[in-house]
Amino acid sequence: MSLYAKRGVSAQKEEVHDAVKNLNHGLYANAFCKIYEDFLGNDKNFVNVMHADGAGTKSILAYLYWKETGDMSVWKGIAQDAVVMNLDDLLCVGIYDNIVFNSTIDRNKNIINGQILQQIIEGTQAVFDMLAKHNVNIQYLGGETADVGDVVRTVAVNGTMTSRWQKNKLITNDKICAGNVIVGLASFGQANYETAYNSGIGSNGLTSARHDVLNKYYANNFKESYDNSLSEDVVYIGTNKMLDEVKLNDETTTTIGKLLLSPTRTYAPILKEMLTNHFEKINGLIHCSGGGQTKCLKYLPSTFKIIKDNLFEAPEIFKIIAKNSGSSPKEMYEVFNMGCRLEIYCAPEYAQTIIEISKSFGVEAQIIGRVEESNKKELCIIVEEQEIHY
């Protein structure tokens, strides 16, 4: 059993998918989000999409960082995580504007004070203000903040996004076909709409990242930060503390805490331009969130083989996680995005246009792989002369 599973987490969320298998799966089986008829406007030319997601266990990292440093601003990053994990899923069905957001914050009032709530709420609005400068308009309509200390140890930061969208402007992944190339957009670096270096960690796999990298100091001093029923051999088994320094290059030094807490990058400004001016060139969009680099298998329209043989070199944060945990490359690429969090499927002749648009925003992009015919859905990742099959 993997460390991930021993901690009560599933990279593929098999039980969740089984629980909802009898529900309406929407109009387009391969689309990244469920898409429904226009119940809100009753117009056959429009659809409705509602998505729910959040920052996950990354909020526990923010809690530990705040307790250790007193830095309240870390909570604004958690607000961004909750927004982006919704928004970038909607982007993958072609939606980039006229969106409604509602937040859901569950807290233990004895541990999470009103100042933290204010940081989260103001941080949420700050993300929308930044996006509005790029003509991505999201209306923040409030939400629910509940004091549920019997349910959560610290705080859970989640939200929902809703949109009414034109049916003829959807990306459903049904156009993905053999011969397509996959353009990958980096999750790391610093986009020109970001204010600091982004480690690329996103908001997936943070249960593993936290326990694999941080040491027993956090288990001994912050019992409220983990499930106390877990075996001690999977709880905070790493070698690091939050303020340990990490040298990224000759000019840049950061800390373990900042790498783990880099706010999830949104690709909204980039995809706004691509979808507005090059919609017909895009056959499919995959957000490499839960399931990491294997996410694509869930949304293929047929029995294709995906080959990824030119992924970015894994950023430093993932090397740190792998070194601490001893996880195999196969497990790492299934849990984490490994430096590439958005995949764009297109014909080879359109790839350079997409790459240039991404780079104009300061985000690295390259062809990371291709789609081939197959008699089953399969994925082959080739890294460091090693073939990993899923």
Q: Which domains are present in the chain?
A: 3-196+261-389 (3.30.1330.10)
- Each residue's pLDDT expressed in tens, for the chain with a length of 390 residues: 566 577 766 555 566 657 767 677 799 999 999 999 999 999 999 999 999 999 999 999 999 999 999 999 999 999 999 999 999 999 999 999 999 999 999 999 999 999 999 999 999 999 999 999 999 999 999 999 999 999 999 999 999 999 999 999 999 999 999 999 999 999 999 999 999 999 999 999 999 999 999 999 999 999 999 999 999 999 999 999 999 999 998 888 999 999 999 999 999 999 999 999 999 999 999 999 999 999 999 999 999 999 999 999 999 999 999 999 999 999 999 999 999 999 999 999 999 999 999 999 999 999 999 999 999 999 999 999 899 999
Residue 387, strand partner residues = 382
Q: Which of 139, 134, 176 is closest to 373 using CA atoms? A: 176
pLDDT at residue 251, rounded to an integer: 85
Q: Contact at 8 Å (CB) between 334 and 64?
A: no
Q: Identify the DSSP state of 23.
A: S
Q: What angle do CA 49, 290, 54 make, to 5 degrees?
A: 60
User: 192: Cβ–Cβ under 8 A, 6 or more apart, which residues?
Assistant: 361, 362
Extended strands (E) in 220-364: 245-247, 253-255, 284-287, 304-308, 340-346
Q: Are strands 304-308 and 378-383 parallel, antiparallel or unpaired?
A: parallel
H or E segment at 217? helix 217-221
User: 245: Cβ–Cβ under 8 A, 6 or more apart, which residues?
Assistant: 253, 254, 255
User: 338: Cβ–Cβ under 8 A, 6 or more apart, which residues?
Assistant: 292, 293, 311, 312, 314, 315, 318, 332
User: 18: Cβ–Cβ under 8 A, 6 or more apart, which residues?
Assistant: none
pLDDT at residue 3, rounded to an integer: 64
pLDDT at residue 253, rounded to an integer: 93
Q: Are strands 245-247 and 253-255 parallel, antiparallel or unpaired?
A: antiparallel
Q: Which of 52, 51, 49, 25 is closest to 39 using CA atoms? A: 49
Q: Contact at 8 Å (CB) between 124 and 103?
A: yes
pLDDT at residue 216, rounded to an integer: 97
pLDDT at residue 2, rounded to an integer: 64
pLDDT at residue 24, rounded to an integer: 73
Residue 284, strand partner residues = 345
Q: In angstroms, what CA-CA distances link 212 with 160, 218, 248, 301, 378?
A: 30, 12, 20, 36, 29
* Alpha-carbon span 360 to 308, nearest angstrom: 24
3-state helix, strand, coil in the chain (%, to 5): 35, 25, 40
Q: Which two tokens stand for residue 263?
A: 């706010």
* Alpha-carbon span 108 to 225, nearest angstrom: 12
pLDDT at residue 250, rounded to an integer: 85
pLDDT at residue 23, rounded to an integer: 73
Q: Which two tokens stand for residue 307?
A: 């080959």
* Alpha-carbon span 158 to 243, nearest angstrom: 27
Q: What angle do CA 384, 197, 123 make, to 5 degrees?
A: 130
